[in-house]
Amino acid sequence: GIQVEQSPPDLILQEGANSTLRCNFSDSVNNLQWFHQNPWGQLINLFYIPSGTKQNGRLSATTVATERYSLLYISSSQTTDSGVYFCAVDPYDKVIFGPGTSLSVIP
């Protein structure tokens, strides 16, 4: 089956710093989504991005489907950005999650 990898697994940032999270997938997909799980466990959809680039405030994402990767950019990080970031792909009608990147933003 399709493999989804995320890097780095852990990241610690000083507040105000920028970061790039990466998601690699081993086969063609119909869809790719980025999620944020906050420290209270809530899962929030950030982007639905099967290809191209999208921006939402300080966050942006780019998916290059032909090269099977997606990037999530966080600029001017804030402590509220802490949590785990997951990418998820839909190669068919199932959904496969990556292992996540755990982000800690310190004041």
Q: How far is the CB of 59 from another protein (least distance, A)?
A: 15
The rounded distance, in Å, linking the Cα atoms of 105 and 12 is 6
Q: How many residues bind another protein (CB under 8 A)?
A: 22
Q: How far is the CB of 37 from another protein (least distance, A)?
A: 8
Q: Are strands 52-56 and 4-7 parallel, antiparallel or unpaired?
A: unpaired
* 41 lies in the binding site for another protein (CB under 8 A): yes
Report CA-CA distances (Å) from 99 to 46, 54, 80.
17, 22, 21
Nearer CB in complex with another protein: 24/31? 31
Residue 107 and residue 79 in contact, taking contact as beta carbons nearer than 8 Å: yes
Which residues contact another protein (rule: CB under 8 A)?
Answer: 30-31, 33, 35, 41-45, 48, 50, 86, 88, 90, 93-100
